[in-house]
Amino acid sequence: MQVRKLVVLLSTLSTLCAAGAALADITIGVSVSATGPGASLGIPSKNSFTLLPTTIGGEKVKLVVLDDATDTTTAVKNARKLVSEENADVLIASSTTPSSIAILEVAFETKTPQISMSPGRVTGEKAAWFFTTPQSFELMASAIAEHMAANGVKTIGFIGYADPYGELWLKATQGAIESKGIQLVATERYQRNDTSVAGQTLKLLSAKPDAVLVAGSGTPAVLPQATLVERGYKGKIYQTHGIANRDFLRVGGKSVAGTIFPVGPMLLAEQLPDSHPSKQAALDYVKKYEAVYGPNSRSTFGGHAYDAYLLLSRAVPEALKKAKPGTPEFRAALREALENVKELPAAHGVFNTSPTNHNGLDARAAIMATVENGDWALLK
């Protein structure tokens, strides 16, 4: 009888220990745009999550990845499922700015830290829970304005998405060019799924700007540039860092030759000087990614996902000192740790976050590039 009781007791303890271990798993909830207009952004990110270690800070990681189909309603549903059903400790979401901003409502409501793989600006109390890995609009707009001014551009036209991405880029551009004496002479907008921008292009051409900035991302960013080239525009065409994937090159073909754009170090890792602080981290990521997905398969959007992991690899050990995963206390501790990351070399730059800066990248995260012979190249 005593033996039976001992066996039952040991079995019960074993079950409880297993349950305790399960509760200790760190759950990362991911929503990416693996389909829809943002697929060329989301697929590299989804791929990147398959390359990550299965532990952080000695704790097992449970990774749950969902597709939001580049739809804000689906993105919000994903976020609620990840938090309520999967008990996510952190959300890495999403691939596009509109979906990321929509998901923030859930992150704030549930007090779950969110790391966005797309740029976005948030103010007020919600900003405390929102972190971003891509370079800010202001940082990249400043790099573009510097290049424009150095190359004699006096007037520009702007065409961007009719959504938060386009609006934020417009504001950042206006701020960046003001101090350079550059005038914005035409402003147009278009939808991500538009099949024609003929009307907008004619208005841009009639303004005769020295250069045009297209504020798009992925393959939808090709349409305005291709239309401008088709209509005979001879000025400089700038794009944002949102174009840095192979699908942009494939779809754009000759029409995107000579494009000028700012980009993170990762895209051109091999071409960086050895002194660049992100070179090693960028090469490490590129080597892992292309070993699985093939040569030249890298995408900056995958790099933003990888950098989210690097942020967590720095923040999680700090949060574990204060609480256990799966609890509100751990989510709060993780949020606090994420806003105190210092000198973290990553694929896209060096992160230095603070309570007032939840991105933390500086000028080291922006290099000027171009499209040359159907490929990316450092702009000389």
**pLDDT of 304-343, one tens digit each?**
999 999 999 999 999 999 999 999 999 999 999 999 999 9
Q: What is the pLDDT of residue 121?
A: 84
121 belongs to a structural domain: yes
284 belongs to a structural domain: no
Same domain? For 113 and 156 the reply is: no
Residue 356 identity = T
Q: What is the pLDDT of residue 244?
A: 85
275 belongs to a structural domain: no
Q: What is the pLDDT of residue 246?
A: 86
Rounded to 10 deg, the angle between the 164-178 and 97-110 helix axes is 100
Same domain? For 130 and 162 the reply is: no
- C-alpha dihedral, 289 to 165 to 119 to 153, nearest 10°: 90
pLDDT digits (tens, 9 = 90+) for 346-356: 999 999 999 99
Is it the case that residue 14 has pLDDT exceeding 60? no
Q: How confident is the model at residue 24 (pLDDT cuts 50, 70, 90)?
A: low
Q: What are phi and psi of 88, to 5 degrees?
A: -60, 135
Q: What is the pLDDT of residue 10?
A: 41
Same domain? For 248 and 313 the reply is: no
pLDDT digits (tens, 9 = 90+) for 225-250: 999 999 999 999 999 998 988 889 99
Q: How confident is the model at residue 1 (pLDDT cuts 50, 70, 90)?
A: very low
Percent of the chain at pLDDT exceeding 90 = 87
Q: What is the pLDDT of residue 204?
A: 98
Question: What is the SS3 assignment for 292-317?
Answer: HHCCCCCCHHHHHHHHHHHHHHHHHH
366 belongs to a structural domain: no
**What rounded mean pLDDT belongs to the chain?**
92
Q: How confident is the model at residue 70 (pLDDT cuts 50, 70, 90)?
A: very high
Q: What is the pLDDT of residue 11?
A: 47
Same domain? For 156 and 68 the reply is: no
Rounded to the nearest 5 percent, the helix, strand and coil shares of the chain are 50, 20, 30
Same domain? For 166 and 255 the reply is: yes
Q: How confident is the model at residue 49 (pLDDT cuts 50, 70, 90)?
A: very high
Q: Facing residues of 215 across strands?
A: 160
SS3 category, 231: coil
370 belongs to a structural domain: no
Please give the Cα distance from 241 to 264 (Å, whole number): 8
Domain count, the chain: 2
Same domain? For 318 and 225 the reply is: no
Same domain? For 121 and 205 the reply is: no
304 belongs to a structural domain: yes
- C-alpha dihedral, 328 to 329 to 330 to 332, nearest 10°: 90
Cis-peptide into 48, omega within 30 deg: no
Is it the case that residue 274 has pLDDT exceeding 90? yes
Same domain? For 27 and 16 the reply is: yes
Kindly state the average pLDDT of the residues 248-272.
Answer: 95
Same domain? For 214 and 326 the reply is: no
Is it the case that residue 364 has pLDDT exceeding 80? yes
59 belongs to a structural domain: yes
CATH number at 236 reads 3.40.50.2300
Owner of token pair 């973290």: 344
Q: Last residue of some domain: 247, 263, 279?
A: 263
Q: What is the pLDDT of residue 380?
A: 81
Kindly state the average pLDDT of the residues 173-184.
Answer: 97
Range of the domain at 40: 2-134+290-361
Q: What is the pLDDT of residue 377?
A: 94
Kindly state the average pLDDT of the residues 252-275.
Answer: 95
Same domain? For 201 and 311 the reply is: no
Same domain? For 62 and 75 the reply is: yes
278 belongs to a structural domain: no
pLDDT digits (tens, 9 = 90+) for 129-162: 999 999 999 999 999 999 999 999 999 999 999 9
Q: How far is CA 323 from CA 41, 49, 193, 254, 332, in A?
A: 34, 25, 45, 54, 9
Same domain? For 251 and 310 the reply is: no
Is it the case that residue 289 has pLDDT exceeding 80? yes
